[in-house]
Amino acid sequence: MDSNEAIFNGLKDAGIDFIVSVPCVNLSKLLNMIDEDGEITHVPVTREEEGIGICAGAYLGGMKPAILMQNSGLGNSINGLKSLTELYEFPLLMIMSHRGTEGENICGQVPMGESTPLLLKAMDYKFFKPAHPEGAYEDVKEAWDLSKEEGKPVSVLLEIKYW
Amino acid sequence: MARREAIEEIMKYIDDELVICNIGFPSRELYDIKDRQKNFYMIGSMGLASSIGLGLALAKPNEDIVVIDGDGALLMNMGSMVTVFANNPKNLTWIVIDNGAYGSTGNQDTYAQKLDLVDVARGVGFKNSHNFKDINLKEFIRSDDASFIVYTTDSGNSNAAIIDLTPIEIKNRFMNSI
């Protein structure tokens, strides 16, 4: 499995069938794979918090939702995650490209990159940081199971070195 | 006429439709006027009513979804207008009660007073963008494109009480009704 296949296969084997996305260059191949999969409803959104609402609605309608985004989108989503997803105990898998980590070449990504794990901890949301594709495949499946069990969002952070 | 009367009027057209209702007084007033299992009351997350409605509409293409939104909430998540239009779920009817005010926080003015929201939605591309007073709502609930309807009212809240259901109860009974 390469780095993209690992995430994609994890999503498929977790049963994820509804994905909203805001792109990141590191997610571009994965987003193409999702777009081409006939069993997954893929909805690109204009801003991440909008995607949180769409995922909640999709879950109300019986689907298994995930959001794919850059970690900057976590900053745009916090109220929706707290006062919708967590409040009503909607499960949500968050696959985040974690910019601003080792190997980052854009300084603007660094402040949010450094704060992302701290924010997730402050929000009391669990997250995984897989180092290689085999781990990522397992982490994606486990993150969805954990999210269903806890009724809270669970994230998989994909640092630059992962790819 | 204020929002409460608008919600009463909208609910005359609702039979089996799934209703997603905006946070604050709109949900409290709907709960007071006509509580039903197929109502989803928002307790937090201002701006996301239309997004919840879109996700539900895409997940349940054979159910009709009606979103009761507000002008302030729409302005907070304006990108949703683009996403709803681009996905064009024919089973989604998005009604914005435009009272020109942030009603639940004390009726402060919104910028919607300076806009014609029907024209804004037409500009984005909605074929079905109308003022409520000009249409039969049921026709638009059943139409073959997503609909954007503006219901213009005065500002002001009723004395509807805080909803005495927990968020989990609201979610579970709503999901069980589908």
Residues of B within 8 A of A65 (CB-CB) are 55
Give B83-118 pLDDT, tens digit per residue: 999 999 999 999 999 999 999 999 999 999 999 999
pTM: 0.98
- Give the mean pLDDT of chain B: 97
Contacts of B45 (CB under 8 A, 6+ apart): A52, A53, A79, A80, A83, A84, A87, B23
Q: Determine the Cα angle at B157 with ends B154 and B160, to 5°.
A: 145
Residues of B within 8 A of A83 (CB-CB) are 43-45
Contact A53 B55 (CB under 8 A): yes
Complex prediction ipTM: 0.98
- Is pLDDT of B9 > 90? yes
Give A99-154 pLDDT, tens digit per residue: 999 999 999 999 999 999 999 999 999 999 999 999 999 999 999 999 999 999 99
Residues of B within 8 A of A48 (CB-CB) are none
Give the B-side interface with A, CB within 8 Å.
Answer: 20, 40, 42-60, 63, 77, 79-80, 82-83, 87, 167-168, 170-171, 174-175, 178
Contact B45 A80 (CB under 8 A): yes
User: Cα–Cα distances in Å, from B119 out to B35, B72, B83, B112, B146?
Assistant: 32, 17, 17, 12, 15
Give A87-102 pLDDT, tens digit per residue: 999 999 999 999 999 9
Q: What's the pLDDT at A1?
A: 84
Give B37-96 pLDDT, tens digit per residue: 999 999 999 999 999 999 999 999 999 999 999 999 999 999 999 999 999 999 999 999
Contacts of B30 (CB under 8 A, 6+ apart): B7, B11, B19, B21, B39, B41, B68
Q: 3-class DSSP state for residue A95?
A: strand
